[in-house]
């Protein structure tokens, strides 16, 4: 009884609070979390669609997740660098080649920075690229199908972190090495790092129509750590900027030894100049070994090709192509504003934010005002290229994004906040706390010449008390802010998956319209496709058995198979005959040493089973596809290795 009274009082006081809020009429107050208009701002009614897509990197999950904004609802996890039992990616025979590398099959990756393709400096929603940090790779996801369709390994690279960022017409997707290494790799003492290790910056060309990727050239830089990067745009289109740390070239106890120099550099690369040099036969081909994996939508299959050489360019061969801009102090993010004039160095150990001017940089280069050189690369004077400093903005700046009104937003890890400041005047306009320890932030279109504004979300490294506890491990937390007004307003917390290093976001309309609903069965060129029940069959080749199987609501054809033997390798090649949106069928076989597979309408996928025990073993559909989904099953009779049970199959009648 007492409890009842207590809770009634609690409810009343909550109501009173809300009434007060509403009566106060303060819609722009900073305690916005409780105001009911905040809830309206993120409310997307049942059946309605979100206004923006957000593609959030999964970090150590190796994948990419798709969210809607402003609701913060997660729509999909796109498998990229990691095996994914939910769809069978990396488990099906068709997709295993996607995870092939020069180190063999790798079931996992560490994805960091997604970036959407651009046309004329605007994001176009055709493709999204993302890097793998650990075993350097760049992946491309087709935003028609939301499938990973290409992965290219990056040789001469390690800790592929200053990646993947695209130039304003998607001429290149760029990947830079975080860890310098011996190039070519060789057996040598670690203590000889300095002067001997190198950092490769890779320019991967993207074919305008198909999106096909190729490593056009690698620039072999001094042995610094290349942490983040961004393309020039507008006037600075043709340049690429990379933040560096460990210009000390230390190889041990980096937290001390790589923090000695007062200033590190932002490296400015004139890729247009190097491209021209390379187009005229410049650079040299160097032996290499890296995988290029391509998924073909017609055959529904991936192939992996090993490539044996790569073109490398030394900065000294192309005078005027590479410069170093002194930047305090161990900068992390390297961000370019929408106009292309300002290059922000987020010096994570510095109290101030340094902003370089592209115009001043060009002036200084033309007047040959250099402060020295590093391994022959000219170093510009700090003062000569400085556009301005955002003073004492916060502690531990990491990343900066931009809106469409000339404002910048920088995350501060240590002081756990986002700070809004004005480009050109460098004054701080607003600051809002994040919960807690923010890394990256994203504004839709924020990494292009045309930011779309409206929202900003912060991706935080520490969650602590933001959600119901789930044991020691918590999902990371993101916070959505309304940035349409003068002050940022916190709207929503939502959980993210893995560690979201970065995200790309854009208005939903373009992607939504182009999104594919089914695969055309007629166009299916999979060599093992069965396009109707007439094509279904079982073929034995030695101890390999190939089952050409179809699915349609609600049966497999065939669904009874006899004559399989212990020691066989059984390939289920399953074609989903459906031609309706959102009707996949799944497949799983008891005792399989792999995951289930999910087959989209019109698609063929292959799953392997190596039966080890005699018996009659069932398989079934894993996706609740119809009222008779539970009936969607079949049996396989497995006989002893030396038995002579004839190979037979059927649907709807007994095997005699
Ligand atoms: S990082 S939290 Cu991998 Cu982009 Cu800066
Ligand atoms: Cu097909 Cu359930």
pLDDT at 9 over 50: no
Q: Poorest-confidence range of 23-27, 98-102, 353-357, 571-575?
A: 23-27
pLDDT of residue 357: 98
Q: What is the pLDDT of residues 355-407, one digit of tens each?
A: 999 999 999 999 999 999 999 999 999 999 999 999 988 999 999 999 999 99
pLDDT of residue 34: 52
Characterize the bridge pairing of strands 560-565 and 633-639: parallel
Question: How far apart, in whole angstroms, are the C-alpha atoms of residue 564 and residue 267?
Answer: 62
pLDDT at 195 over 50: yes
310 lines ligand 2 (CB under 6 A): no
pLDDT at 270 over 90: yes
- Within a 10 A sphere around the Cβ of 191, how many other Cβ atoms? 8
- Tokens 């004492």 found at: 392
pLDDT of residue 35: 56
Phi first, then psi: give them for residue 432, nearest 5 degrees.
-135, 140
Pocket test for ligand 1, best of 115, 177, 440 (most atoms within 8 A of CB): 440
585 lines ligand 2 (CB under 6 A): yes
Mean pLDDT over residues 74-80, rounded?
98
Question: How far apart, in whole angstroms, are the C-alpha atoms of residue 267 and residue 198?
Answer: 14
- Judged by DSSP in three states, 294 sits in strand
Q: What is the pLDDT of residues 218-256, one digit of tens each?
A: 999 999 999 999 999 999 999 999 999 999 999 999 999
Where are the extended beta strands (E) located within 300-416?
301-313, 322-327, 331-336, 342-347, 353-357, 370-374, 377-380, 386-390, 397-402, 407-412
Q: What is the pLDDT of residues 471-487, one digit of tens each?
A: 999 999 999 999 999 99
Band (pLDDT 50/70/90 cuts) for residue 349 is confident
Could you tell me the distance, in angstroms and rounded to a whole number, from the CA of residue 623 to the centre of ligand 2?
5
Percent of the chain residues topping a pLDDT of 90: 93
Which residues, listed in sequence order, are joined to residue 649 by a DSSP beta bridge?
Answer: 561
Question: How far apart, in whole angstroms, are the C-alpha atoms of residue 25 and residue 28?
Answer: 9
Residue closest by Cα to atom 1 of ligand 2: 585
Tell me, rounded to whole angstroms, the distance of Cα 41 from its chain centroid. 27
pLDDT at 528 over 60: yes
633 lines ligand 2 (CB under 6 A): no
pLDDT at 11 over 60: no
Counting from 1 in the atom list of ligand 1, the atom nearest the Cα of 228 is: 4
Counting from 1 in the atom list of ligand 1, the atom nearest the Cα of 112 is: 3
Mean pLDDT over residues 276-287, rounded?
98
Taking a C-beta distance cutoff of 8 angstroms, is the pair 516, 479 a contact? Answer: no
589 CB-side CA count, 13 A: 24
Question: How far apart, in whole angstroms, are the C-alpha atoms of residue 164 and residue 170?
Answer: 11
Q: What is the pLDDT of residues 488-503, one digit of tens each?
A: 999 999 999 999 999 9
pLDDT at 333 over 90: yes
Question: How far apart, in whole angstroms, are the C-alpha atoms of residue 604 and residue 529?
Answer: 6
Which residues, listed in sequence order, are joined to residue 123 by a DSSP beta bridge?
Answer: 118
- Tokens 């923006």 found at: 52
String of DSSP letters for 576-632: E---STT--EEEEETT-SS--EEE-TT-EEEEEE---S-EEEEEE--S--STTGGG-
Question: How far apart, in whole angstroms, are the C-alpha atoms of residue 201 and residue 160?
Answer: 10
Band (pLDDT 50/70/90 cuts) for residue 338 is very high
pLDDT of residue 252: 95
Could you tell me the distance, in angstroms and rounded to a whole number, from the CA of residue 632 to the centre of ligand 2?
6
What would the two tokens of residue 438 be? 């923010």
Residue closest by Cα to atom 1 of ligand 1: 501
């Amino acid at each position: 009884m007492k409890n009842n009274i207590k809770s009634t009082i609690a409810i009343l006081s909550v109501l009173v609070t809300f009434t007060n809020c509403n009566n106060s009429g303060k819609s722009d107050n900073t305690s916005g979390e409780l105001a009911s208009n905040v809830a309206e701002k993120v409310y997307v009614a049942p059946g309605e669609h979100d206004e923006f897509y957000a593609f959030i990197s999964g970090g150590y999950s190796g994948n990419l997740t798709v969210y809607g904004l402003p609701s913060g609802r997660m729509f999909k996890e796109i498998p990229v660098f990691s095996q994914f039992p939910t769809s069978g990616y990396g488990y099906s025979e068709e997709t295993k080649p996607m995870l092939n590398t020069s180190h063999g099959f790798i079931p996992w990756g560490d994805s960091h920075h997604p970036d959407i393709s651009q046309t004329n400096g605007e994001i176009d929603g055709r493709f999204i690229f993302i890097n793998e940090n650990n075993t350097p790779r760049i992946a491309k996801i087709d935003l028609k199908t939301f499938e990973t369709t290409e992965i290219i390994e990056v040789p001469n690279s390690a800790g592929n972190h200053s990646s993947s960022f695209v130039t304003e017409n998607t001429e290149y997707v760029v990947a830079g090495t975080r860890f310098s290494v011996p190039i070519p790799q060789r057996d040598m003492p670690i203590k000889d790092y300095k002067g001997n290790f190198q950092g490769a910056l890779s320019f991967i060309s993207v074919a305008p129509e198909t999106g096909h990727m190729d490593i056009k050239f690698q620039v072999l830089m001094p042995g610094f750590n290349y942490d983040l990067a961004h393309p020039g745009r507008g006037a600075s289109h043709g340049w690429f900027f990379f933040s560096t740390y460990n210009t000390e070239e230390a190889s041990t106890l980096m937290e001390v030894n790589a923090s000695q120099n007062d200033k590190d550099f932002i490296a400015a690369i004139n890729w247009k100049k190097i491209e021209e040099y390379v187009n005229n036969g410049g650079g040299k081909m160097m032996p290499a070994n890296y995988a290029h994996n391509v998924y073909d939508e017609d055959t529904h299959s991936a192939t992996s090709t090993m490539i044996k050489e790569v073109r490398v360019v030394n900065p000294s061969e192309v005078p005027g192509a590479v410069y170093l801009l002194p930047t305090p102090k161990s900068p992390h993010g390297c961000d370019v504003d929408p106009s292309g004039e300002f290059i922000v160095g987020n010096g994570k150990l510095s109290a101030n934010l340094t902003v370089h001017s592209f115009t001043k940089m060009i002036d200084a280069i033309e007047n040959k005002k250099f402060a020295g050189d590093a391994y022959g690369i000219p170093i510009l004077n700090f003062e000569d290229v400085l556009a301005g400093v955002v003073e004492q903005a916060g502690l531990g700046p990491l990343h900066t994004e931009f809106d469409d009104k000339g404002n910048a937003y920088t995350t501060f890890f240590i002081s756990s906040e986002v700070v809004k400041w004005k480009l050109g005047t460098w004054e701080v306009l607003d600051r809002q706390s994040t919960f807690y320890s923010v890394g990256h932030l994203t504004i839709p279109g924020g990494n292009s010449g045309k930011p779309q504004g409206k929202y900003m979300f912060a991706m935080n490294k520490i969650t602590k008390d933001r959600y119901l506890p789930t044991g020691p491990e918590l999902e990371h937390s993101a916070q959505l802010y309304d940035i349409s007004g003068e002050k940022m307003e916190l709207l929503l917390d939502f959980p993210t998956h893995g560690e979201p290093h970065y995200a790309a976001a854009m208005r939903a309309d373009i992607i939504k319209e182009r999104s594919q609903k089914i695969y055309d069965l007629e166009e299916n060129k999979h060599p093992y496709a069965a396009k109707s029940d007439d094509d279904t069959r079982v073929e034995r080749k030695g101890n390999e058995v190939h089952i050409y199987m179809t699915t349609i609501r609600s049966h497999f054809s065939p669904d009874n198979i006899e004559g399989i033997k212990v020691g066989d390798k059984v390939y289920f090649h399953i074609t989903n005959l459906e031609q309706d949106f959102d009707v996949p069928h799944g497949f799983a076989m008891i005792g399989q040493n792999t995951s289930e597979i999910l087959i989209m309408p019109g698609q063929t996928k292959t799953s392997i089973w190596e039966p080890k025990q005699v018996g009659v073993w069932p398989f079934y559909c894993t996706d609740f596809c119809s009222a008779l989904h539970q009936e969607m099953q079949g049996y396989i009779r497995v006989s002893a290795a030396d038995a002579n049970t004839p190979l037979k199959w059927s649907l709807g009648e007994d095997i005699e």
